[in-house]
Amino acid sequence: MLKLLLKPFSARLSYQSIRTKLLVCFLIVTVIPLLSVGALSYYQSAKAIDSQFGKYGENAVAQLQQQTNAYLTRMSQTAATIYSYLLDPARSGLGDRSPGTYREILDKNNFENFLKALKTERNAGIYIIAKSGYYYGENNLDAAKLDRIPAWRAMPDDPTGDHWLGFYPQNHGIKDPEEGERLPVVLGLAESINNPYGALRGSVILIEENAEDLLRMFELFESDTQAHLTIADSQGRVVYETASEYEARDSDIVWHKDIEANDWTIEARLPAKSFYRSSGLIRSNTVIAAVASTLLAFALAYLFSSRFTARIRRLKDSMQKVSFGMLQTRTKVEAKDELGSLDVSFNNMVGGIESLIREVETNERQKKDAELRAFHYQINPHLLFNTLNSIQWKARLQGAEDIRQMLYHLTMVLEGNLDISQELVPLGRELRIIEHFLKIQEVRYGPVFRYELECDEALKKYPIPRMTLQPLFENIFFHGFEDGEGTIRLAVEDEGTLLRLELTDNGAGIPPDKLQKLLLPGEKRKGRGGLGLRNADQKIKLHFGVQYGLTVKSAPGEGTTIFIKWPKKEENPHGHVDGND
């Protein structure tokens, strides 16, 4: 089943394999460096930012802690200074009721001048509130409104020690705030005076510091880090908390500091998500960039490879068409690159094949024509030979020995000529047929010519196209010699891989203008002359290759020399010869 499924896919894959490979290659080349560089830079910068942010948060919280601590310490110190001032026996004149006499007022004024001197720019109020409700300090306080401070209200009737009142709007002035008026938020400390000595026992020192700057710092920190800030007192009561809702989780990043001045704790919580937001941002940026570049690379690779493979496929399709026999197919040459030259060579090749096949076709047709012609001329050799033999016998019985001789030689020559079962015959056989031919000529003309043969026995076994030599001899007798008179010399030499045959006569020779056209194909012949030469040349070339063949040397009146060169080939047992086709 799986195989069945895979098969088309793998077929597809193999079909598009170059494109796929190219794509894969491109993607690997692009994506690997991209991803590694992206991942590396993300990892590095995220690490740096996380640690920096962590340090920054730690420092920021430490700064808040320090600032808050400074506020609280200053307040404590102010309270302590007032406390010690009141311990001085000289201040025993300070009563906890409204002063009425000159002395009391003088003491009050001195005390309030002292308080004024303690007041700094940040200080929003320094008051000593007596049990009676009378107070020392600037005249802008309405002591009855102090209960508006939640932590003040929560104080016991007989307070002891320090009471940190936390952050609250200073809304206990004589003048009620006007509509929309924003009261400054202050940080309050109530310290009760309950030492057995000194003035104003049972009163409470109220120190208020303007906390706007501090709160602004908190807000800045909150908006900067998105952290949730909580300040709690030693009992765990929340003194300050970031306004927005927050749900604490274990995974939160927590910066925690203790404030020495009054055992408050300051804690900033940041959801892990927010903490890693910056690095997350980098990550998403990196991922986006990587994806975008990958897509870009993919698109480019796809475009490129599809162009590339399309050309290859077109070439392949063309080849397929050619293989189906559509030889007129040509592929379009688009560019001068390697594929372009491939296209060009393909076109050339197909062109070459086409013309070759056309040539072969022509040759075949000619061959067939020749065979048909030969068939046409073929007379039943048995009838011919039987008849000739009968005549031969008759001649013998009648004692006509010369006729019998002629008939015998004619039979031998005809046998050689008519046996068309073999195209290549051993040189020796061809030479034997020449002997018979010459005997006939001798009967015809009388012993007026000379024939010399030089040929090693060893060379006689090498094949030569049938009926190569006889036409040449015919030419010598019909054109070269007059009444058969002259000398013919035939020499066969071994030239390594080649055989060289030299046929010389001392006949009339060939006129130069005729000689030139002698071996050219397609030249219309005048008369019969020259046909033998050209046929012999063509036969050699057809069987052994164009580099072999005939050359003719001749001068009028001085005879003709014909050279034939052809390679040595062993005759195979089937009587066929390996060679060019």
| 463-465 and 549-554 strand pairing | unpaired
30 binds another protein (CB under 8 A): yes
CA dist list (Å): 63 to 60, 206, 284: 5, 26, 32
222 binds another protein (CB under 8 A): no
Question: For 268-380, where are the alpha helices, taking DSSP H only?
Answer: 272-275, 277-323, 338-377
**Largest distance between two CA atoms of the chain:** 202
CB of 291 to another protein, least distance (A): 10
| From 101, 235, 244, 323, residue interacting with another protein (rule: CB under 8 A) | 101
Contact region with another protein (CB under 8 A), list: 50-58, 180-188, 267-275, 315-323: 50-58
Distance CA 449, CA 446 (A): 8
| From 19, 23, 38, 465, residue interacting with another protein (rule: CB under 8 A) | 38
102 binds another protein (CB under 8 A): yes
CB of 187 to another protein, least distance (A): 20
Determine the residue type at 391: I
H/E element, 492: strand 486-495
- Extract the tokens encoding 214: 């501090």
Contact region with another protein (CB under 8 A), list: 33-41, 72-80, 310-318, 462-470: 33-41
| From 45, 67, 306, 487, residue interacting with another protein (rule: CB under 8 A) | 45
Kindly tell me which of 340 and 426 has the beta carbon lying closer to another protein: 340
Reported residue count of the chain is 581
Closest CA to 203 of 337, 120, 82: 82
Under DSSP, is residue 282 helix (H, G, I), strand (E, B) or coil?
helix
CB of 219 to another protein, least distance (A): 13
End-to-end CA separation in angstroms for the chain: 51
Contact region with another protein (CB under 8 A), list: 5-13, 289-297, 455-463, 470-478: 289-297
SS3 content of the chain, % helix, strand, coil (to 5): 55, 20, 30
Distance CA 204, CA 134 (A): 11
22 binds another protein (CB under 8 A): no
244 binds another protein (CB under 8 A): no
Contact region with another protein (CB under 8 A), list: 290-298, 344-352, 424-432, 533-541: 290-298
CA dist list (Å): 325 to 123, 319, 321, 537: 107, 10, 6, 34
Detail the DSSP E strand segments found in 69-138: 123-129, 135-136
290 binds another protein (CB under 8 A): yes
| From 6, 11, 154, 281, residue interacting with another protein (rule: CB under 8 A) | 281
Kindly tell me which of 98 and 398 has the beta carbon lying closer to another protein: 98
Number of residues lying near another protein (CB under 8 A): 54
Sequential DSSP letters for 161-221? SEEEEEEEE---BSSPPPTTPPPPEEEEEEEE---SSSSSTT-EEEEEEE-HHHHHHHHHH
DSSP 476: I
CB of 163 to another protein, least distance (A): 22
Could you say which residues in the range 146-165 bind another protein, by CB under 8 A? none
111 binds another protein (CB under 8 A): no
Kindly tell me which of 73 and 306 has the beta carbon lying closer to another protein: 306
Distance CA 357, CA 365 (A): 12
Kindly tell me which of 179 and 457 has the beta carbon lying closer to another protein: 179
Kindly tell me which of 200 and 503 has the beta carbon lying closer to another protein: 200
42 binds another protein (CB under 8 A): yes
Determine contact, residues 42/286, Cβ cutoff 8 Å: yes
Determine contact, residues 436/417, Cβ cutoff 8 Å: no
Kindly tell me which of 24 and 106 has the beta carbon lying closer to another protein: 106
134 binds another protein (CB under 8 A): yes
| From 3, 157, 175, 573, residue interacting with another protein (rule: CB under 8 A) | 175
141 binds another protein (CB under 8 A): yes
Residues of this chain that bind another protein (CB under 8 A):
26, 29-30, 33-34, 37-38, 41-42, 45, 48-49, 52-53, 56, 60, 98-106, 109, 121, 134-135, 139, 141-144, 174-175, 220, 224, 278, 281-282, 285-286, 288-290, 292-293, 296-297, 300-301, 304, 307
